[in-house]
């Protein structure tokens, strides 16, 4: 049922092309009728021109044949262009949806091994539609017509042509059977190969620093070898059967010539039948041979179509909810339990809290306590398995992503910037941003002076992932992006991980700025300095809230001093320990929740 929904969406995307497909079918019919030109021309030459020795008849036949050939060529060119336009129309109808699949699949726990596979599948289907495969499929229904004309020439010629068509049909069926699994295996090995290459590209620095490049290269070479072996098996089988079908068709054509000569010798057919029937049988079997030659592309397109249908069904298109007013009062978390997408492992259990406008919440706890999972739910990245996250009483799923994004600021642990200018990244790639708002966001993040020191200021271009900036600079620009247009809810996950003292001071002022203007700020931190500007603290451990309330009270109950370091020449005797925010909580009665 689910797969049928995906196929229905694909069929709907092709629905506007129905008229084009109908026109292609009619054009194919005319083309196949014009394919008879050569056969009947030879028949007339041998049966009329040569016995009568009439040059005007020959000239007339040649002129007529030339005109028909011109029409045939024009129609074939038209058919190929229409098929190419059908592929382009399918791409236009589905490209946005497929991009949506690429970016949403990781959030739904349904990413393919190769994250760009849906785009490649769409390319595969489009390329097949624009290639010679559909033409062969449109020509195949005309095979009985050719066979019927062969029977009219002589029943024995028709029987031989029918036998040849049967053999080619069996070869086509055999091609499908023996190439299906190798093609699927080749796709799987290709995904693994591409995944290793992408991982190597993303982690080039680690590979170089740790001397791992040769080892990863060996793993990639193994995956590539398996991929090439699978591709070779597909090519060998398809090529072998294709060669067999071609040789068989040529042999059959010669056999028809011999049969025609035998019939002429026994006065059962005219001399023109010899050549005409040979050409006709060859033309009748050409679509089957062409289908076998294009079968590899057909199998790959069919598998790509099936994968797209499955993914479209698993990730339905997002609807457009009714527009809601901007949130301005509160954030409420109601009995939320969270599991990473695609898994059943609950990492946050039955968590409830409420924040009012102007409040700041610090989330602390040991690693793997569910802090980052919680903030992903707060910004709608991971939908809760149970419970609701609400802004001013409206659950997050009552907003569209575009509408909700205007009211949210989010700085993840791993700051990812996009290829473009600094200003593009801060304004979230708005088509026509207000420069004043971009500068205001940078000032709020304390990044304005930093950006002005770059080579071209706000127009400085950066590469994918923020290439060209240090980790601290990326974090400051990411903070400015989170603060763009003064969102109501700002969620910062480890925002001071790469900041120096100046950056931490700017972060504190940014959090205070959010609170002063009536926003809500949630900060996940392991270092106390990041929580200087918050008034509430949530302590988490093993996915549960251990304490929630005013910052000073929670700190008194849950923080444990770190052991004093042993004096060394580097640290000196005046080295002192800081309180640890990631230490297990000291057993204590949970605090009452604050308003």
Q: What is the 3-state secondary structure (H, E, C) of 482-518?
A: HHCCCCCEEEEECCCCCCCHHHHHHHHHHHHHHHHCC
Q: Are 303 and 184 in contact (CB under 8 A)?
A: yes
pLDDT of residue 595: 34
pLDDT of residue 44: 85
The CATH code that applies to domain 330-559 is 3.40.50.300
Distance of alpha carbon 369 from alpha carbon 541, whole angstroms: 5
How much is the average pLDDT of 473-477?
Answer: 93
Distance of alpha carbon 93 from alpha carbon 101, whole angstroms: 14
Q: Are 362 and 285 in contact (CB under 8 A)?
A: no
pLDDT of residue 541: 93
Choose between 554 and 47: higher pLDDT.
554
How much is the average pLDDT of 410-430?
Answer: 93
CA 238 to chain centre: 28
pLDDT of residue 137: 83
User: Is residue 590's pLDDT more than 50?
Assistant: no
pLDDT of residue 164: 84
User: Following DSSP, what letter does each residue of 520-541 receive, concatenated?
Assistant: EEEEE-SSGGGGTT-SEEEEEE
User: Following DSSP, what letter does each residue of 322-373 receive, concatenated?
Assistant: PP-PPP-SEEEEEEEEE--TT----SEEEEEEEEETT-EEEEE-STTSSHHH
pLDDT of residue 14: 87
Residues with Cβ within 8 Å of residue 196, at least 6 apart in sequence: 216, 219, 220, 223
Ranked by mean pLDDT, the top range of 116-120, 302-306, 332-336 is 332-336
Distance of alpha carbon 349 from alpha carbon 542, whole angstroms: 9
Choose between 96 and 108: higher pLDDT.
96
Homologous superfamily (CATH) for 1-314: ABC transporter type 1, transmembrane domain (1.20.1560.10)
571 confidence band (pLDDT: 50, 70, 90): very low
User: Is residue 426's pLDDT more than 90?
Assistant: yes
Q: How many CB atoms lie within 10 A of CB 177?
A: 10
Average pLDDT, the chain: 85
Residues with Cβ within 8 Å of residue 362, at least 6 apart in sequence: 523, 524, 525, 530, 531, 534, 536, 537, 538, 551
| Same fold flag, 1-314 and 330-559 | no
Q: Are 7 and 309 in contact (CB under 8 A)?
A: yes
> Tokens in use for 210?
């740790």
User: Is residue 249's pLDDT more than 90?
Assistant: no
User: Is residue 6's pLDDT more than 80?
Assistant: no
Taking phi first (over 0 means left), then psi (-120 to 50 degrees means alpha), and beta for anything else, what does residue 354 get?
beta
589 confidence band (pLDDT: 50, 70, 90): very low
User: Is residue 113's pLDDT more than 50?
Assistant: yes
585 confidence band (pLDDT: 50, 70, 90): low
CA angle 452, 457, 458 (to 5 degrees): 115
pLDDT of residue 45: 86
Distance of alpha carbon 250 from alpha carbon 159, whole angstroms: 17
Distances from the Cα of 212 to the Cα of 113, 190, 430, angstroms? 22, 22, 40
Of 35-39, 75-79, 307-311, 581-585, the least confident: 581-585
> What values do phi and psi take at 2, rounded to 5?
-65, -45
pLDDT of residue 195: 80
Q: How many residues does the chain have?
A: 595
Helix (H) / strand (E) element for 389: namely strand 386-391
Taking phi first (over 0 means left), then psi (-120 to 50 degrees means alpha), and beta for anything else, what does residue 545 get?
beta
Buried b (16+ CB within 10 A) or exposed e, 369-407: bbbbbbbbbbbbbbbbbebbbbbbebbbeebeeeebbeb
Distance of alpha carbon 562 from alpha carbon 576, whole angstroms: 9
pLDDT of residue 476: 93
Q: Is 164 exposed, middle or buried (0-12, 13-18, 19+ CB in 10 A)?
A: buried
pLDDT of residue 379: 95
Choose between 1 and 394: higher pLDDT.
394
| 408-411/489-493 β-pairing | parallel
Q: Are 274 and 264 in contact (CB under 8 A)?
A: yes
pLDDT of residue 567: 53
Distance of alpha carbon 282 from alpha carbon 514, whole angstroms: 78
Instruction: Encode pLDDT of 456-465 as tens digits.
Output: 999 999 987 7
Beta bridge partners of 389: 333
Instruction: Encode pLDDT of 163-204 as tens digits.
Output: 888 887 788 788 778 877 888 888 788 878 888 887 887 777
How much is the average pLDDT of 77-103?
Answer: 90
- 511 closest CA partner among 414, 441, 445, 447: 445
The DSSP code for 45 is I
> Tokens in use for 6?
């995906």
Distance of alpha carbon 523 from alpha carbon 534, whole angstroms: 8
How much is the average pLDDT of 417-441?
Answer: 94
Distance of alpha carbon 393 from alpha carbon 406, whole angstroms: 17
Q: Are 407 and 487 in contact (CB under 8 A)?
A: yes
pLDDT above 70 as % of the chain? 92
- 392 closest CA partner among 327, 321, 486, 334: 327
Instruction: Encode pLDDT of 136-153 as tens digits.
Output: 888 888 888 888 888 888
pLDDT of residue 575: 38
Choose between 351 and 2: higher pLDDT.
351
User: Is residue 592's pLDDT more than 70?
Assistant: no
How much is the average pLDDT of 257-274?
Answer: 81
How much is the average pLDDT of 78-92?
Answer: 91
Q: How many CB atoms lie within 10 A of CB 126?
A: 22
Distance of alpha carbon 261 from alpha carbon 264, whole angstroms: 5
583 confidence band (pLDDT: 50, 70, 90): low
Instruction: Encode pLDDT of 208-221 as tens digits.
Output: 888 888 888 888 88
Distance of alpha carbon 411 from alpha carbon 499, whole angstroms: 14
Annotated domain spans of the chain? 1-314, 330-559
């Amino acid at each position: 049922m689910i797969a049928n929904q995906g196929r229905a969406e694909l069929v709907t995307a092709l629905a506007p092309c129905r008229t084009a497909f109908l026109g292609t079918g009619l054009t194919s019919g005319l083309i196949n009728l014009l394919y008879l030109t050569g056969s009947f021309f030879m028949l007339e030459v041998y049966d009329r021109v040569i016995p009568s020795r009439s040059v005007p008849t020959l000239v007339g036949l040649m002129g007529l044949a030339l005109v028909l050939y011109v029409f045939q060529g024009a129609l074939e060119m038209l058919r190929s262009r229409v098929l190419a336009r059908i592929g382009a129309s399918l791409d236009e109808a589905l490209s946005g949806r497929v991009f949506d699949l690429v970016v949403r699949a990781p959030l739904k726990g349904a990413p393919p091994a190769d994250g760009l596979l849906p785009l490649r599948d769409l390319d595969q289907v489009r390329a097949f539609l624009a290639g010679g495969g559909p033409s062969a499929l449109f020509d195949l229904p005309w095979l009985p017509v050719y066979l019927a004309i062969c029977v009219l020439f002589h029943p024995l010629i028709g029987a031989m042509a029918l036998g040849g068509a049967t053999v080619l049909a069996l070869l086509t069926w055999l091609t499908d059977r023996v190439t299906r699994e190798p093609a699927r295996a080749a796709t799987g090995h290709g995904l693994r190969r591409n995944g290793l290459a992408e991982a190597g590209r993303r982690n080039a620095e680690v590979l170089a620093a740790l001397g791992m490049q040769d080892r990863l290269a060996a793993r990639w070479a193994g995956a590539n070898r398996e991929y090439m072996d699978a591709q070779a098996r597909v090519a060998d089988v398809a090529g072998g059967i294709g060669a067999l079908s071609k040789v068989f068709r040529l042999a059959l054509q010669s056999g028809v010539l011999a049969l025609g000569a035998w019939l002429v010798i026994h006065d059962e057919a005219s001399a023109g039948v010899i050549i005409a029937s040979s050409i006709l049988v060859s033309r009748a079997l050409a679509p089957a041979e062409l289908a076998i030659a294009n079968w590899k592309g057909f199998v790959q397109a069919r598998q790509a179509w099936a994968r797209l249908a499955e993914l479209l069904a698993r990730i339905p298109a997002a609807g457009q909810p009714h527009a809601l007013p901007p949130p301005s009062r509160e954030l409420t978390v109601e009995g939320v339990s969270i599991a990473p997408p695609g898994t059943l492992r609950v990492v946050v259990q039955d968590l409830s809290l409420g924040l009012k406008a102007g409040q700041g919440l610090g989330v602390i706890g040991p690693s793997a306590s569910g802090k980052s999972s919680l903030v992903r739910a707060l910004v709608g990245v991971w939908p809760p398995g149970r419970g609701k996250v609400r802004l001013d009483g409206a659950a997050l799923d009552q907003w569209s992503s575009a509408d909700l994004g205007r009211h949210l600021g989010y700085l993840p642990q791993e700051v990812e910037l996009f290829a473009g200018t600094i200003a593009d990244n801060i304004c979230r790639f708005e088509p026509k941003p207000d420069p004043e708002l971009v500068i205001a966001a940078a000032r709020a993040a304390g990044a304005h002076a930093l950006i002005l020191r770059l080579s071209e200021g706000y127009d400085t271009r950066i590469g994918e992932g923020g290439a060209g900036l240090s980790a601290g600079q990326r974090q400051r620009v990411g903070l400015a992006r989170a603060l763009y247009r003064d969102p109501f809810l700002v969620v910062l996950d480890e925002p001071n991980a790469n900041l120096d003292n100046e950056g931490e001071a700017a972060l504190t002022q940014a959090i205070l700025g959010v609170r002063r203007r009536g926003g809500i700020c949630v900060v996940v931190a392991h270092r106390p300095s990041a929580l200087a500007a918050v008034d509430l603290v949530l302590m988490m451990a093993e996915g549960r809230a251990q304490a929630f309330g005013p910052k000073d009270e929670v700190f008194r109950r849950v923080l444990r001093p770190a052991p004093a370091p042993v004096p060394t020449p580097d640290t000196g005797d005046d080295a002192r320990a800081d309180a640890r925010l990631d230490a297990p909580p000291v057993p204590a009665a949970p605090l009452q929740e604050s308003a």
